[in-house]
Chain A
Amino acid sequence: GQQVMQIPQYQHVQEGEDFTTYCNSSTTLSNIQWYKQRPGGHPVFLIQLVKSGEVKKQKRLTFQFGEAKKNSSLHITATQTTDVGTYFCAGRNNDMRFGAGTRLTVKP
């Protein structure tokens, strides 16, 4: 069945360092969504990517969708303490499946 793998599981960075989380699917995806869950909170939608090779930016966040539409990445430039949380990808083939998430902690 469809699987979405996400790495790393945890990432601890110093404030100001960059951060990247990667998402890989066993099947070609029609689209991929990214969500952020703050500690103690619920997932909040960040962005959706649909096109092969698509790149979208939100301030310090850069989202990429692979050419084969099987992988995606989220890159945060110069992390801040407000970036703390767990970042999930969710890939859709027939149904949507969430990755296990990458938990980001930031040391001030």
Chain B
Amino acid sequence: DSGVTQTPKHLITATGQRVTLRCSPRSGDLSVYWYQQSLDQGLQFLIQYYNGEERAKGNILERFSAQQFPDLHSELNLSSLELGDSALYFCASSVEGLAGVDEQFFGPGTRLTVL
């Protein structure tokens, strides 16, 4: 158990819908990362938040957005869902993630299926 929790574990929805994935980082970790794992694209970095502020952005679609709240939990919002958005979404957390090696601890992931 990495200490990072993600809910829900599984999510099945229809095209055009909107969903919210939730992540609680390890106690004391200030950085949260979101990654997408799909058969087509592999494991891709989406976005990083540090202490409530967006820190780095990857190949995140405009239909996707994220935020980190004052209690440091984070949510990833996916809207106008398409079949291709079906994937495993990981959240990871680290102490800082600003510079230097800072191990990222991964949550168990949320499996999103878009029908």
Please say whether chains A and B are actual partners in one complex.
Answer: no
